[in-house]
Amino acid sequence: MSSETKPISTEEFKLALSDLTNENINSTNEYLEKEIEQTSDQESIDLYKETISENVEVMKNQSARLDAISEELSRRGVKPSKEEEQEGIYL
C-alpha cells in the first residue's frame, strides 16, 4: 500500500461516521462483515500462505543474484557506486 492511499485511522473513521446516513452506515457495516468473512476462510488463508511462500522464494532468488553480481564485480576488481547500484538492470 502506498503512502498516498493509507487507510484512515479508527479515530478518523469514528468521526466520519457522524456525517453518514443510517443507510450508508449499514451498507458499510455489511461490507466490512463480508470482507472479514471472506478473508477468514481457510481457502483464503491457504492462498495467503502460498503467496507469502512464493514471495520468499523470489526474495531468495533476488538475493542470490545480488551475491552473484557482487562476486562478479569483485572478480573484476570493480565496486559499483550507490548510484550505479540503484540504476541496475531488472532481470
Tell me if 58 is assigned to some domain.
Answer: yes
Is residue 27 domain-shared with residue 46, that is, in the same domain?
A: no
- Our measurement of the distance from residue 19's CA atom to the centroid of its chain's CA atoms, rounded to an integer in Å, reads 31
Per cent of the chain over pLDDT 70 is 84
Tell me if 57 is assigned to some domain.
Answer: yes
Rounded Cα distance between 16 and 8, Å, is 10
Q: What is the mean pLDDT of residues 63-81?
A: 89
Number of domains in the chain: 2
Tell me if 31 is assigned to some domain.
Answer: yes
Tell me if 1 is assigned to some domain.
Answer: no
Rounded Cα distance between 82 and 18, Å, is 50
In three-state secondary structure terms, 91 is coil
Q: What is the DSSP letter of 18?
A: T
Rounded Cα distance between 53 and 80, Å, is 31
Range of the domain at 16: 9-40
Q: How confident is the model at residue 12 (pLDDT cuts 50, 70, 90)?
A: very high
- Whether this prediction's pTM lies above 0.85 is answered by no
Is residue 33 domain-shared with residue 13, that is, in the same domain?
A: yes
Tell me if 83 is assigned to some domain.
Answer: no
Tell me if 70 is assigned to some domain.
Answer: yes
